[in-house]
Amino acid sequence: MKQQEDGRVQSPKQVSFIGSYIPRQCGIATFTSDLYCGLTAEGKGINSFAVAVNDVPEGYDYPPEVRFEIPERDIASYRRAADFLNVNNVDLVCLQHEYGIYGGPNCGCPSSQRYTQCCRIRTLLSLRS
């Protein structure tokens, strides 16, 4: 997102949603999917896609809007996800965080922190406990 000369912030053109995603049976998966669907329906001129966090090694049969998958216990995959978003000109990331859906010690905090340290994109973080 860029700031215009008059100080207003330009609307994002490319948005990515990160979290668990349907068909994974999880409230965050449903919420992330609903956010994506809502923006797709109402966000004129905004392209969006999802990055899914997998809790099983084989992943899921995701819908086409999922363009990248993160194995939740693979710490390096969070850096790869950040790199993927950085090179795909994403303007805004909407990261769904609930303790326990990201791998690593302390309920995944180091994993999501690894992502945010590598990502050069504005990130909107939704926290749940």
Task: Map out the domains of the chain as residue ranges.
Answer: 14-128
At 2, is the secondary structure helix, strand, or coil?
A: coil
Adjacency order of strands within the sheet including 47-54:
66-71, 47-54, 14-19, 92-98, 122-128
Of 6 and 93, the one with more pLDDT:
93
Q: What is the pLDDT of residues 64-123, one digit of tens each?
A: 999 999 998 887 888 899 889 989 989 989 888 766 665 545 554 545 555 566 667 777
Q: What is the distance between the alpha carbons of residues 110 and 62, in angstroms, rounded to a whole number?
A: 26
Note the CATH number of domain 14-128.
3.40.50.620
* DSSP letter, residue 62: -
Q: What is the pLDDT of residues 16-71, one digit of tens each?
A: 999 999 999 988 899 999 999 999 998 888 999 999 999 899 999 999 999 999 99
